[in-house]
Amino acid sequence: MTKRIIPITALVLIAIVAIATIVMALVPKNFAPNIGDPARISISSMNGRVFDATEDKETYDKIMEAYHNSFTESSLNALFQGRIGYNTEAKYQEDSLTYLSSLSKYLRFDYNTDKTVTVQDNEVTYRSVVIELVDNEGMYEVKLYLLAYGDTSTNYYMSAIADLGQLVTVTSEIEAE
């Protein structure tokens, strides 16, 4: 009887591992930073054209879908790339204003109310998030700069891993319209 239980138990364990691997490979997970949905979106290269969540819903939804898809990958791929436990906490950076002024193309999310994030035990309040749009191949580190209301002298950003290719494509299509 014991001779039959060991092979059956081994087969069951192998089946469980195989099923878990398949599920992790097929089920996508969104690793986007928790910044919420903005009230307005603007694309820098469009000379300040703004897409409002209520007035231009179709374009707004298209951009937000591409944004969320940028941070989505399979759990198995994220595990092998070491991104499962990737922390998207805000960080301090010297001279981020200088860097922001040099960006050629970026996406800006504006919020109606203050948002807060904790940075080294201090709460940072922001009203806008700026994301540089670079069409690199595959997943890479992206910085989301936090801007306070009426202030462009931010020194804080959130770092995340993303593939912005779809977002760059969508914004380019919107520009061409």
The 10s digit of each residue's pLDDT in 48-75 is 566 777 778 888 899 999 998 888 776 6
pLDDT of 51: 75
Per DSSP, the residues of 105-165 read SEEEEEEEEEEEEEETTEEEEEEEEEEE----SS-EEEEEEEE-TT-----EEEEEEE-TH
N-to-C CA span, the chain: 72
Predicted confidence (pLDDT) per residue in 102-149, tens digit: 677 888 898 988 888 776 667 778 888 888 888 777 777 888 888 876
**For the ranges 3-17, 75-89, 139-153, the one whose mean pLDDT is highest:** 3-17
Q: For all residues of the chain together, what is the average pLDDT?
A: 77
Report CA 173 to chain centroid distance, whole Å. 20
Structurally, the chain folds into a number of domains equal to 1
pLDDT of 20: 79
Report CA 155 to chain centroid distance, whole Å. 19
pTM of the model: 0.74
Query: Is the pLDDT assigned to residue 89 strictly greater than 70?
Result: no
- Summarize the confidence of residues 15-21 as an average pLDDT: 83
pLDDT of 151: 53
Which residues constitute the domain of residue 119?
2-176
